[in-house]
Structures are given as C-alpha cells and as structure tokens.
Structure 1
Amino acid sequence: MILEPLLWMLIGHALADYPLQGDWLSRAKNHTLSLVPGEAIWPGALMCHAAIHAGAVQLATGSWVLAGAEFVAHAAIDHAKCAGRISYNTDQLLHVLCKAVWLGLLNTLVT
C-alpha cells in the first residue's frame, strides 16, 4: 500500500511526541526555560528529541535522507514553538505536513 509509510510515520510521531518525550524532555528542549541553572541543556535535549523523530522516519521509510530532513525540520519547528512564534496546534500540523512531504519524496525517489 502506497500510504503505509505515511501511516507508520504518523504512528512514530505519536509515540515520539508523547510517551517517548515526557515532561522533562518537553521542558529541557525549550530554550526559554532553564532547568539546570547556569547550563544551556536545551540544544542537546532538542537534538535528541529530533533524533528520535528522525529514527521513526527512517524505520518507516528506510531512507536516511528523509530521516535527516525530519531531524532538521522537527528541530526547527519545535524551536519555533518554544520561542512562541507558532502555537501547539500549528506545531502539530507542520509535523504532519512534513510526513506528507516525506511520503511524496519517498514515492518520487522510489519510482
């Protein structure tokens, strides 16, 4: 089924953004918060969170290129949300739209 990778990417997103993220990581990746006084831990936390999402995309598509695109896009979108430039709902919509783009690129690369 041509939509199967999209469904797996969406399932991976649901897992990575909810049970695999947790409250601590959600706050640690936010550059506007300081969980550890005197230390900027948000870059590492944000990169780890984006890497989990990239891994889900790689597992769903078999493509490291798309995983890399997901890593960059997810980190940028979450950074914008933490900065207050976009809302939570816009954040989630953009993540889903990225998955649709990855599916289109996957189908273009494969055919």
Structure 2
Amino acid sequence: MESLNLLIVLVLAHFVCDFVLQSDRMAVEKIPGRDRTLHWSWWLASHAATHGLAVALLTGIPLLGALETLMHAILDWLKGRYRFTLAWDQSLHVLCKLIWVLLLIRI
C-alpha cells in the first residue's frame, strides 16, 4: 500500500509540474528551434529540474531526483523531435514514476 501511495503522489506531482508550474513560454521554447528568449536547453533543463526536485523531495532520494531530471529532459526532447502525442508523452512520464517506485521496492 505504501508503494501505491508513493506512485499516486509522484504522478500527482508530475501533473502539477507539467501543467501548473510550466508556463506557456517554457512549453514552447523548450523545443529546439522554437526558442526566442533563451536557448531551448535552458528552458528544457529548468523544466526537467522542476520534476527532479519533486521526485527528490517526495522520495527523499536526491539521486532519484537527478535520474528523473535526466529522463524527463530526454523524453521532452524526444517529444519535440518526433512530435509525440500528449497521451504518449504523459504515458512515458508516468511509466518513469512506476519504474522509480519499483526500484525503491527492490532497495
């Protein structure tokens, strides 16, 4: 039950980070070629770091937060490059949260 609760909280935090804390400008400019005010990599890194911080705070494991930052950045870059649908993108992000919980069960 504890693992299920953690998964639920991680997924809820993901949606807060992706839809509440991400500005419209960040959502557009984190995509290579669509950046206007800052280089796209700064937008992408700061957005991914928001997700990493949420995972680190909720799990108490900064290394897991760093992994989340990396994976979120990779998935968002791939989404921009290959034009994933929103459903596919969000499914991959939620899958990452499931992987983090499964890793924690093993530790």
Give TM-score, length-normalised by structure 1: 0.88
User: Which shows bigger deviation, 77-86 or 52-61?
Assistant: 77-86
What is the match of residue 8 of structure 1? 9
Structure 1: runs of 5 or more not aligned: none
> 1:2 & 1:98 partners in 2: Cα distance?
14
Q: What is the aligned counterpart of 2:92 among 91, 94, 99?
A: 94
Runs of 4+ in 1 over 6 A off after TM superposition: none
Pairing 1:1-111 to 2, within 5 Å after superposition: 1-36=2-37, 41-109=39-107
Instruction: Give the Cα separation in 2 of the matches to 1:66 and 1:107.
Output: 13
Identical residues among aligned pairs (%):
35
Deviation at 1:100, TM superposition (A): 0.1
**Rg (Cα) greater in structure:** 1
Shift of 1:85: 4.8
Q: Determine helix, strand or coil for the equivalent of 2:82.
A: coil
What is the alpha-carbon distance in structure 1 between the residues aligned to residue 6 and residue 77 of structure 2?
26
- Measured in 2, the distance between the counterparts of 1:52 and 1:92 equals 16
- Over 3 Å counting, the alpha-carbon distance change for 1:24 and 1:85 in structure 2 is closer
Which structure features the higher share of helix residues? 2
Letter aligned with residue 24 of structure 2: D
Secondary structure of the equivalent of 1:83? helix
Q: TM-score, normalised on structure 2?
A: 0.91
Q: Give the count of matched residue pairs.
A: 106
Preserved contact between residue 32 and residue 82 of structure 1 (Cα < 8 Å): no
